[in-house]
Amino acid sequence: MKKILKHTWKIIRYNLGGLLLFETGYRILTFFFTLRLVKMAIEISLSRQGFSYLTAENYGAFIKSPWTVCLFLGVFLILFFFFLIEISALLLGFHHAGRKRKLYGGDFLMEGIKGAVRFLRQGKPIWIFWAALAVPFLSVYFLVREASYVGLLEFTAREIYGKVKPPALLGILLAAGMVLSLWAVLALPYTLLEREKSFRGLFRGIGLLKKRWREILGSFLLLYVLIAAAGAAFYILTTLGMTGAVMAFKPEDGKISSVLMGREYIQMAMGVFTGGVQMTGTLAFAYTIYSRFRKSEVKEAPIWDLVQNYRWLSKLGKRKAATFFTLLLVILEGGYLTAAAVSHDAMLESLNADTKITAHRGGALRAPENTLSALAYTWECGADFAEIDVQETKDKQLILLHDDSLKRITGLDRNVWELTYEEIKELDAGSSFGKEYQGERIPALEEVLNFCLGRLDLNIEIKYNGKNEGIVQSVVQVIRENDFEEHCVVTSMNYRFLEQIKAIAPEIRTGYIMTMRYGSISQTEAADFFSVRYDYISESFVREAHALGKEVHAWTVNYRGNIKRLLDMGVDNIITDDPALVRRVQERENGTKTGFPELLQYGFGI
């Protein structure tokens, strides 16, 4: 075990300086290029399909469109070529290290490009497939971590998870896929470094692995423990350093915001750094296994003449010029990130808002959701609004219920449209929350309006389930009959519902609920505000909405760091399970000193 890891570290260390320079510049560049490429693909597909924006409502049509399929296939092919360059650069770099040949950062780049082009020109689809199959295992941490920066990918992952039943099946499929991907990783040295490729060579290597599987598996697991430790050390040290710098150099009223902003950049860098360490360590391990177990008669692919790599740069100093340009790339990227952080910080300081507080699902933190008890708690804790969910029963009565099914709340596995109001009134909606709420009933909307009038304003979300086409007219009628127009807003994920409301009751304020946000919101005349999942909200979106004369409501926000960030962005309303927490953050006195331990809590997301 120790011998394998020792040899792995030896081939990494031999060209460590050039390796670090290449990986840093290449990973940062490809990361930002990937974000931009995916955004462009989404915008082009939206434009071709005639959509001005993308959210959950039109997601299905968008994702199935031939434009989306073709564009994202093109994105994948481009990113796969970048992946080939990186793995070729690393494996060829380890190959040179094994022969005691020094490489600069520019050498890695040129070797990677030539290796990738040579591999593709061989024209053997099965080996290209095997290389593509290695992507999940080599990039699993990077893909999971950075998917949060591409909202469409994160939303798609959640949709897949929600549709696969039972969820354990998805776990089994993913585990099997990762095992297959690991096999492809161990095959990469054969596919990229050997001139003559055959499955016989591949299975010969696998056969050799079987003989020492305990030693190899133990070494591999230990390697990943070390990679995880390196990632944890990077996160802790950078967070401590960033927090210390903020404590020393930032004014008191901007310290928390600066730490929260810095935390975002550290989390972004965490994915890039740990992803690079994972790929480098894994490929070095795979190359170590390959070099120790392969047969001596295997014909190697030609090792490029490093001097010939830079003939076109001979006047600039050959390798040193290439290294200079690689270093310049890293410096420019670092400057870009610094400038973005400074401008981002300045934008935060320029934004301010008298932000309202809305209790999620009527006030579900201390009492059963969407009940009178929850609304009573919301009123007592001083929230400005309570958000409630409205559904329609079999006999067209309006009740408060979030899910289509009654099972989670009452234990009865029936859909709301299958039962009458009289039947639903008999169900217990409180016992699942706590014994003290046993007997709590699902209230009717009219009952709730009477309870809240003069006490609490409401955010009434109309749920769409495909069986309640006439629900908008019923909701408007109940609101008008109870003189509640000035004390509520009506929201929905179904934009057509909002258009219906504006057609029959233009005096009622409406909000469009968006689970993700791409494209332009300028054509959403039926919405007076946008209710957006908090991690899809940016300063630019807030400015765009405010320029249109519309508000931004953020849901569902329960961590104080996110609350502070959204307040700094200038959102108009925060929807939360804990209104008291939002009020405490909101009412924090200006000039109150923030100690280093408290800043660290924000930095680490505690």
Separation CA 384–CA 389 (nearest Å): 17
DSSP string, 416-454: GGGS-HHHHHTS-SSTTT-GGGTTPPPPBHHHHHHHHTT
Q: How many CB atoms lie within 10 A of CB 547?
A: 9
Burial track 453-485 (b if 16+ CB lie within 10 A, e otherwise): eeebbbbbbbbbeeebeebbebbbebbeebebe
Contact (CB, 8 A) for 517 and 532: yes
Give, in order, the Cα–Cα distances in Å from 333 to each of 24, 79, 110, 261, 538.
Answer: 10, 19, 20, 18, 22
Is residue 499 packed enough to be buried (19+ CB in 10 Å), middle (13-18) or exposed (0-12)?
middle
Told to judge if 402 belongs to the known catalytic residues of this protein, a careful annotator would answer: yes
**Which H or E run includes 147?**
none
Catalytic residue among 7, 360, 487, 553: 360
Two tokens, residue 548: 């249109």
Separation CA 26–CA 156 (nearest Å): 27
Cβ partners under 8 Å of residue 211, min gap 6: none
Question: How many Cα neighbours within 13 Å face the side chain of 207?
Answer: 8
Separation CA 513–CA 493 (nearest Å): 5
- Give 554's DSSP letter: E
Two tokens, residue 332: 């420019």
- State the greatest distance between any 2 C-alpha atoms of the chain, in Å, as a whole number: 89
- How far is C-alpha 14 from the geometric centre of its chain's CA atoms? 36
Closest CA to 257 of 554, 602, 586, 589: 602
Separation CA 115–CA 78 (nearest Å): 16
- Give 303's DSSP letter: P
Told to judge if 360 belongs to the known catalytic residues of this protein, a careful annotator would answer: yes
Separation CA 326–CA 320 (nearest Å): 10
Q: Residue 194 pairs with which residues in a beta bridge?
A: 300
Contact (CB, 8 A) for 310 and 319: yes
Separation CA 273–CA 148 (nearest Å): 16
Separation CA 407–CA 414 (nearest Å): 7
CA-based torsion, 77, 81, 86, 87: positive or negative: positive
Number of H helices, E strands in the chain: 23, 11
Contact (CB, 8 A) for 589 and 583: no
Give, in order, the Cα–Cα distances in Å from 60 to each of 42, 54, 65, 195, 297.
Answer: 14, 10, 9, 45, 54
Closest CA to 585 of 570, 556, 563, 602: 563
Catalytic residue among 402, 487, 546, 553: 402
What amino acid occupies position 255? K
Separation CA 393–CA 395 (nearest Å): 5
Catalytic residue numbers? 360, 402
